[in-house]
Amino acid sequence: MRVLVTGGSGRLGRSVVATLVERGHQVVSADLTSGPIAPGAVQRVVNLLDDAARSALFAEARPEAVLHLAGIAVPFSRPDTEILEVNTLLAWTVLSDAAAAGARIAVAASSPTVFGYGTPGWRPLRLPLDEGHPVAPLHSYGLSKAIIEETVRTLARAEGGGCVFAAVRPGYVIAPEEWAGAPTQQGHTVAERLDRPELAAASLFNYVDARDAAELFALLAERPERVDNGMILHAIADDALARAPLAELLPRFHPGTAGLAEELTGDRPAFSSAAAERSVGWRPRRSWRSELQAASGAP
């Protein structure tokens, strides 16, 4: 099928584009800047906030599916008002245009930060966190993602089923080259996040390999009939990015989880992605244990 990927040059976007090409789809990748791209995909440098440029892009791509990853991807990396304006306006315009262009499905990237973890007083209702847990963002980035999710639900109601809408909350995305020591999104390596648990504690030790998250986006594009309109799905690894159990680590860094984290023994994560398996048969296939070992060349 014809798939338009916005933000296709980003940390997650590169893997989404490559995965779609590998699966035989015709892919147009749109981003503010060019970058390495899978052979066979078409790359377009475009400002998606420019109405005329965005309209021309959709006219060229004629997408049957739109995977919207574009936006400011790092909390606190820009002024709060800019993060809110860019992320929310991009989502509304791109997803609305997807429906107008006749796409069968449009999927937006959200974030687990909608849960509002990150302060010592944070206390969830339950663990692991699933898509039904209430959201309570604490910063403009998390708020922008919560608004994107509400945009998905709003358009699902307004469009009447002509186009299916969904949102995916990828965990802390680790690109393939980062297993070999390239800096991750926050500037330190995967090994440093493991050696210094306070680094990964800020995100409740969640992560996902970019290729695994890409497979979920591809499955949604391919199986819109299995998507409940307006649904939200997690794309997070089945284990925690930690060497010690979260039953021990979470109460140390997030005292409000005391008691709730007791069942997170072994390598159990603080998030559940079971809904994605029920919906489209997705499960993460990669673990930090195997990927770090493979990157190091150890037998």
Please give the single-letter amino acid code of residue 198.
E
- pLDDT given for residue 160 in this prediction: 72
The Cα 110–Cα 140 span in angstroms is 13
Percent of the chain with pLDDT over 90: 92
Looking at residue 271, the DSSP 8-state letter turns out to be B
pLDDT tens by residue, 89-115: 999 999 999 999 999 999 999 999 999
- pLDDT given for residue 118 in this prediction: 82
pLDDT tens by residue, 164-215: 999 999 999 999 999 999 999 999 999 999 999 999 999 999 999 999 999 9
Closest CA to 235 of 267, 205, 257, 206: 206
Closest CA to 263 of 250, 274, 276: 250
The Cα 205–Cα 239 span in angstroms is 9
Percent of the chain with pLDDT over 70: 99
DSSP string, 182-227: ---TTSS-HHHHHHSHHHHHTTTT--EEHHHHHHHHHHHHH-GGGS
Assess whether pLDDT exceeds 90 at residue 84: yes
The Cα 43–Cα 35 span in angstroms is 9
The Cα 225–Cα 39 span in angstroms is 29
The pLDDT mean for the chain works out to 96
Closest CA to 99 of 51, 52, 54, 64: 64
Task: Report the run of H or E that residue 66 belongs to, with start and end.
Answer: strand 65-68
pLDDT tens by residue, 265-296: 999 999 999 999 999 999 999 999 999 988 87
The Cα 159–Cα 132 span in angstroms is 23
Report if pTM > 0.75.
yes
The Cα 191–Cα 15 span in angstroms is 21
Give all domains of the chain, ordered by start, each with its CATH number.
Answer: 2-175+207-238+270-285 (3.40.50.720)
User: How many CB atoms lie under 10 A from the CB of residue 117?
Assistant: 26
- pLDDT given for residue 245 in this prediction: 98
